[in-house]
Structure 1
Amino acid sequence: MNLTDRVVIITGGAGGIGAALARRFAAEGAAAVVVADLDADAARAVADGLGPVAHAVGLDVTDEEQVRALVADTEQRYGRIDLFCANAGVTSGGGMEVDDAGWDRAWRVNVLSHVYAARAVLPAMLARGSGYLLHTCSAAGVLTSIGDAPYATTKHAAVGFAEWLSVTYRDQGVRISALCPQGVDTPMLADGLAAGHLGARVVAASGAVLTADQVADAAVAGLAEERFLILPHPEVADYARRKAEDPDGWQSGLRKLVRRLRA
């Protein structure tokens, strides 16, 4: 996808990867960039920094009616939606002990929000035979997330849903990509480190933390090539191969890493 003159929606657009995507898409010449976020004021600040090309919307991605309203308003305002970036995400920092409310929040934000977006935008995209969905899924959806059971589980589900969409709709003109970065210097990582979450410590110790702008660069390159898996950290592809070839050895290596960090 060439982003010039495209109409784009980005959820979770007020910070981190979402804000970086908004800036990069605007720089690429997008016709409109809709910055949607639960924090409407922060979304407005990002949009204001991009000039008249951008529009900010307060949005709870777990409310399907709000997602439908956002899509309808954008189509009425700009005539179409070329690219929908389902980027909002949450972590928990916990394991099985995370309560049902925490598991439900992870499921609704990390998975169901992608379902709601697809339900809302696909009819018009399929009718005209073109469109693109970019789902931020994380390398946790390809590998795992040490110390965060809800995140690992729901991100796997997010990759699975994106893959299903691609298999089902690519031949009808709709492209789907799963953006799967590993460590990224965002408020999510900073908050995890401040809380002492094991997963955040693993990421920080890896020495491969990218900036959000670097992830946005990788996303633009992946969209241009219409790749399903967009891996800003290329080593994730090697890790995934090792995991597939030797699951027991892969898990053994992760357990050693956990023991070292806990020591």
Structure 2
Amino acid sequence: MPDTAVVTGAARGIGRAIASRLAREGWRLVVADLDAAALAEVAEELGALAVPGDTSTDAGVRHLLETAYAQLGRVDVFFANAGIGTLAGLDASDADWARALDTNVLAHVRAARLLVPRWLEAGGGRLVVTASAAGLLTMLGDAPYSVSKHAAVAFAEWLSATYRHRGIVVQAICPQGVQTRMLEESGPLQELLTRDRAVSPDEVAEAAWQALAGDEFYVLPHPEVRDYSAQRAAHPDAWLAGMNRLQQKLDQTRTPNEENA
């Protein structure tokens, strides 16, 4: 089993839980997040190196990986966990879209550009992307999040299809509702996201840990997502009709001002 990792979005939530799980197994870690103060606390608790900064930018990713390689000597696993939502639809601005795409997709691309050549030379490596069930299904109420998470899954699929025969393992974690700040701030979407139950960040981290023993692409803390995805692929119109019925229920919870947005 590999024993060095970089975890982004590690100051709280899923990222912190993944880093904690790895630390308990004795892994050497570099953790990253925009929230420098919270990240420092996590790093001190876990005995990890904190690298605060914006990993959605090319400069931020380069700084993170240069520091990680200097500290660890190698990076066996890169957990591309940092992600954001907007809770916006057609009212999302170009800046909202750019921020979501940079954080939820292009951060993975920028990391892979730097990691894959090193991994090919070393004989292997592993990229674990925290996508979302939204990347397999859809996310009502948040167009940039839904679209960017679909793109995150698509990029991970492309990487796996292109490099798996050369020792590079790519995996996508796709949970539904997780007990994080993002869920707490999701407003009327919270009921939809928790209809099958919200799992804890520790449960997602445990699923990720177990997945490291193999190379299965999808990591599904909510196993029912596999069935939902199959239904969507087999019966797309029925699936979309069902999602629209859920949207109509969401519309009933909105205020007049929200309905006009």
CA contact (8 A) 1:181 1:231 kept: yes
Gaps of 5+ in 1: none
- Higher mean displacement: 11-20 or 76-85: 76-85
Quote how far apart the aligned CAs of 1:258 are. 2.4
1:41 aligns with 2:37: yes
The residue type equivalent to 1:101 in the other structure is: A
Q: TM-score, normalised by structure 2?
A: 0.93
CA contact (8 A) 2:7 2:15 kept: yes
Q: Which residue of 2 aligns with 1:14?
A: 11
1:203 aligns with 2:203: no
Give the alignment partner of residue 89 of structure 1, picking from 64, 83, 87.
83
Supply the distance in 2 between the matched residues of 1:55 and 1:145 (Cα, whole angstroms): 34
Q: Which residue of 2 aligns with 1:215?
A: 204
Gaps of 5+ in 2: 253-261
Supply the distance in 1 between the matched residues of 2:147 and 2:251 (Cα, whole angstroms): 23
Paired residue secondary structure (2:212)? helix
Q: Which residue of 2 aligns with 1:240?
A: 229
Question: Number of matched residues?
Answer: 252
Paired residue secondary structure (2:185)? helix
CA contact (8 A) 2:77 2:126 kept: yes
Q: Which residue of 1 aligns with 2:259?
A: none
The residue type equivalent to 2:163 in the other structure is: Y
Paired residue secondary structure (1:210)? coil
Supply the distance in 2 between the matched residues of 1:36 and 1:233 (Cα, whole angstroms): 26
Q: Which residue of 1 aligns with 2:255?
A: none
Supply the distance in 2 between the matched residues of 1:216 and 1:119 (Cα, whole angstroms): 25
Supply the distance in 2 between the matched residues of 1:111 and 1:219 (Cα, whole angstroms): 19
Q: TM-score, normalised by structure 1?
A: 0.93
Give the alignment partner of residue 62 of structure 2, picking from 68, 71, 92.
68
CA contact (8 A) 2:77 2:125 kept: yes
Task: Give 1:1-263 correspondences, 5 Å limit.
Answer: 2-3=1-2, 6-30=3-27, 32-51=28-47, 54-192=48-186, 196=187, 198-204=188-194, 206-263=195-252
**1:167-214, Cα deviation, whole Å (9 max, x unpaired):** 11111111100111110000111122xxx3x4334113x141000000
CA contact (8 A) 1:177 1:223 kept: no
The residue type equivalent to 1:115 in the other structure is: V
Quote how far apart the aligned CAs of 1:164 are. 0.4
**1:75-119, Cα deviation, whole Å (9 max, x unpaired):** 122211100011000001110110111011001000010011111
Supply the distance in 2 between the matched residues of 1:67 and 1:226 (Cα, whole angstroms): 25
Supply the distance in 2 between the matched residues of 1:78 and 1:257 (Cα, whole angstroms): 47
Quote how far apart the aligned CAs of 1:21 are. 0.2
